[in-house]
């Protein structure tokens, strides 16, 4: 019997994502001026206010308020009627020094013997159903909101959009786990107040989303997936009605509240740890990236059509406490999942310092991860500029999304005789 699966995403202007982006912008600045910084930064945003809190160990000093304001303005909160603007909001910093009790378990005389920054389990997942090896419902949800943000910034085809938005996609699958059709698409977008009755406003928004936005999203997908967009899709566009009050004025935002959107949209599994605002000594983040890197390369190499990797750690301990592999019965090799895991252990060094080095995680690469998912994006090399009244101006060339690189496919094929 066919089944349905749903994933959601939120825009860069969603209050929780505003908080995530501020936290990661602060992290990037600390790493840009001191690559060995230890950072655990949380952000709260609400009407006219930003609160920064957390623990930092760094040799640098930053103007945290200006960094937060720049992020808010770049997202698009620049107008007084939003009740939240980068130029006028208050920014309170409660950041203090990292506990030595935690740091002593992480820093060691030898970098290679760096302990894990916390206990816990992390997951990485990959599937063949999309070109970027991501779950389809989440991938489409992200694309809907990324395209909506592009339309908002252009301000031409749809001129009334505001930064806050959410999307949700439901897909029907066959018993063989093959996508059959898109059943439902939900889009809720913040908008300017219309000078007309609410019903006319809602009809205008619905028409623009279905006739302008959705065709642009469909065009981003390969032909086999475009066929899933039929005339029978049920659309729920701003189903509660008017959505003028939004962003941090409409709902308080916090760092780390969108961990399923950040990863796999409910597919695979999640260990519970958030990413944003954490430097890579926190294995919540770095090991989750490493697990995604393994899973994606295994699927790309042909080991299986779907792979879930779990890795776990004890705080202060160098070696992971476990590494496991789940191929969901879709492996293309005559090995059990436990046997596959043993080979994976030999191919990938999962000590925290080795992950940092392999994926180049001690670089300021994190703001780009903080909206529309940490997984599934295209690896690229960019030059980023950082300015500080205390440290001057620096330019750094960095690699983004290194955990998405298919750079271990050849090694995996050799190890598994593929």
State the pLDDT confidence band at 8, using cuts at 50, 70 and 90: very high
Cβ pair 14, 253 in contact under 8 A: yes
Q: Give tens-digit pLDDT for 243-277.
A: 888 889 989 999 999 999 999 999 999 999 999 99
Q: Is 218 annotated as a binding residue?
A: no
Q: Is 223 annotated as a binding residue?
A: no
Q: How many CB atoms lie within 10 A of CB 146?
A: 18
Domain boundaries of the chain, sorted by first residue: 3-8+135-246, 120-127+282-415
Task: Give the helix/strand (H/E) hosting 20.
Answer: helix 15-33
Q: What DSSP designation does 221 have?
A: S
Q: What's the pLDDT score for residue 240? A: 87
Q: How many CB atoms lie within 10 A of CB 155?
A: 10
Q: Is the pLDDT of residue 24 over 80?
A: yes
DSSP for 328-384, written as a single string? TT-BSSS--HHHHHHHHHHHS--SHHHHHHHTT-SSS--GGGSSS-SSSPPPEEEEE
Q: What's the pLDDT score for residue 198? A: 78
User: Beta strands 90-97 and 49-57: pairing type?
Assistant: parallel
The domain 120-127+282-415: what is its CATH number?
3.30.300.10
pTM exceeds cut of 0.85 = yes
CA distance 162 to 85: 12
Q: What DSSP designation does 209 have?
A: I
Q: Give tens-digit pLDDT for 334-390.
A: 999 999 999 999 999 999 999 999 999 999 999 999 999 999 999 999 999 999 888
Cβ pair 148, 372 in contact under 8 A: no
Q: Is the pLDDT of residue 104 over 60?
A: no
Residues forming a β-bridge with 383? 397
Alpha-carbon torsion 190, 193, 194, 198, what sign?
positive
Residues forming a β-bridge with 331? 304
Q: Give tens-digit pLDDT for 269-301.
A: 999 999 999 999 999 999 999 999 999 999 999
Q: Is 360 annotated as a binding residue?
A: no
Q: Is the pLDDT of residue 233 over 70?
A: yes
CA distance 380 to 387: 22
Q: What's the pLDDT score for residue 118? A: 79
CA distances from 291 to 19, 263, 271, 301 (A): 25, 11, 12, 15
Q: What's the pLDDT score for residue 106? A: 60
Q: What's the pLDDT score for residue 201? A: 86
Q: Is 12 annotated as a binding residue?
A: no
Q: Is the pLDDT of residue 23 over 90?
A: yes
Q: What's the pLDDT score for residue 379? A: 98
CA distance 227 to 163: 30
Please, what is the end-to-end C-alpha distance for the chain in angstroms? 33
Residues forming a β-bridge with 49? 46, 90
Q: Is the pLDDT of residue 122 over 60?
A: yes
Q: What DSSP designation does 115 have?
A: P
Q: What's the pLDDT score for residue 245? A: 87
Do the first three CATH levels of 3-8+135-246 and 120-127+282-415 match, i.e. the same topology? yes
Q: Which fold has domain 3-8+135-246?
A: GMP Synthetase; Chain A, domain 3 (3.30.300)
State the pLDDT confidence band at 119, using cuts at 50, 70 and 90: confident
Q: Give tens-digit pLDDT for 138-193.
A: 999 999 999 999 999 999 999 999 999 999 999 999 999 999 999 999 999 999 98
State the pLDDT confidence band at 100, using cuts at 50, 70 and 90: low
pLDDT > 70 fraction of the chain, expressed in percent and rounded: 96
Q: What's the pLDDT score for residue 115? A: 75
Q: What's the pLDDT score for residue 390? A: 86
The length of the chain in residues reads 418
The closest alpha carbon to 274, from 3, 23, 106, belongs to 23
Mean pLDDT taken over the chain: 94
Q: Is 40 annotated as a binding residue?
A: no
Q: What's the pLDDT score for residue 110? A: 59
Higher pLDDT, 63 or 194: 63
* Residues 44-69, mean pLDDT to the nearest whole number: 95
Contacts of 148-157 with CB under 8 Å at 24 or more apart are: 148/11, 148/187, 148/189, 148/213, 149/11, 149/12, 149/13, 151/212, 151/213, 151/216, 152/76, 153/76, 157/208, 157/212
Q: What's the pLDDT score for residue 277? A: 98
Q: Is 166 annotated as a binding residue?
A: yes
Q: Is 242 annotated as a binding residue?
A: yes
CA distances from 322 to 125, 339, 369 (A): 16, 14, 27
197: left (phi over 0), alpha (psi -120 to 50) or beta: beta
Q: Is 243 annotated as a binding residue?
A: yes
Number of H helices, E strands in the chain: 13, 13
Task: Give the helix/strand (H/E) hosting 199.
Answer: helix 198-208
Q: Is 304 annotated as a binding residue?
A: no
Higher pLDDT, 130 or 245: 130
Cβ pair 296, 376 in contact under 8 A: no
Q: Is 416 annotated as a binding residue?
A: no
The closest alpha carbon to 262, from 277, 246, 240, belongs to 277
Q: Is 274 annotated as a binding residue?
A: yes
Q: Is 42 annotated as a binding residue?
A: yes
Q: Is 14 annotated as a binding residue?
A: yes
Q: Is 165 annotated as a binding residue?
A: yes
């Amino acid at each position: 019997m066919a089944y349905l699966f749903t994933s959601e995403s939120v825009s860069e202007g969603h209050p929780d994502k505003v908080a995530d982006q501020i936290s990661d912008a602060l992290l990037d600045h600390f790493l840009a001026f001191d690559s060995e910084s230890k950072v655990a930064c949380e952000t709260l945003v609400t009407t006219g206010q930003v609160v920064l809190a957390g623990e930092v160990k760094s040799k640098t000093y930053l103007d945290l308020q200006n960094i937060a304001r720049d992020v808010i303005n770049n997202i698009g909160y620049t107008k007084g009627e939003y009740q939240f603007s980068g130029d006028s909001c208050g920014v309170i910093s409660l950041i203090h020094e990292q506990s030595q009790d935690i740091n002593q378990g992480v820093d060691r005389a030898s970098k290679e013997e760096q302990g894990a920054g916390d206990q816990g389990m992390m997951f990485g997942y990959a599937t063949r159903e999309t070109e970027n090896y991501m779950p389809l419902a989440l991938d489409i949800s992200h694309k809907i909101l990324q395209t909506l943000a592009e339309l908002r910034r252009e301000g031409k085809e749809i001129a009334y959009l505001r930064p806050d938005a959410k999307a949700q996609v439901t897909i029907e699958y066959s018993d063989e786990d093959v996508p059959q059709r898109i059943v439902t698409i939900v889009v809720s977008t913040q908008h300017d107040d219309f000078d007309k009755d609410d019903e006319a406003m809602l009809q205008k928004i619905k028409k623009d989303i279905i006739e302008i936005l959705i065709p642009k999203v469909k065009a981003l997908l390969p032909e086999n997936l475009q066929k899933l967009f039929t005339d029978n899709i049920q659309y729920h566009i701003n189903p509660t009605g008017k959505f003028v009050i939004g962003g941090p004025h409409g709902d308080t935002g916090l760092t780390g509240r969108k961990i399923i959107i950040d990863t796999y949209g409910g597919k695979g599994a999640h260990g519970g740890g958030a990413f944003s605002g954490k430097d890579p000594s926190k294995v919540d983040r770095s090991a989750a990236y490493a697990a995604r890197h393994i899973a994606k390369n295994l699927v790309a190499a042909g080991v299986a059509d779907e792979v879930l990797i779990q890795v776990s750690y004890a705080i202060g301990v160098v070696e992971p406490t476990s590494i496991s592999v789940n191929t969901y019965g879709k492996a293309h090799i005559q090995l059990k999942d436990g046997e596959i895991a043993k080979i994976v252990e030999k191919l990938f060094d999962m000590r925290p310092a080795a992950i940092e080095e392999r994926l180049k995680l001690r670089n300021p690469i994190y703001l780009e991860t903080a909206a529309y998912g940490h997984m599934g994006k295209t690896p690229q090399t960019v030059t980023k500029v950082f300015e500080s009244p205390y440290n001057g101006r620096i330019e750094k060339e960095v690699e983004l999304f290194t955990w998405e690189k298919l750079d271990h496919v050849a090694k995996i094929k050799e190890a598994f005789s593929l």
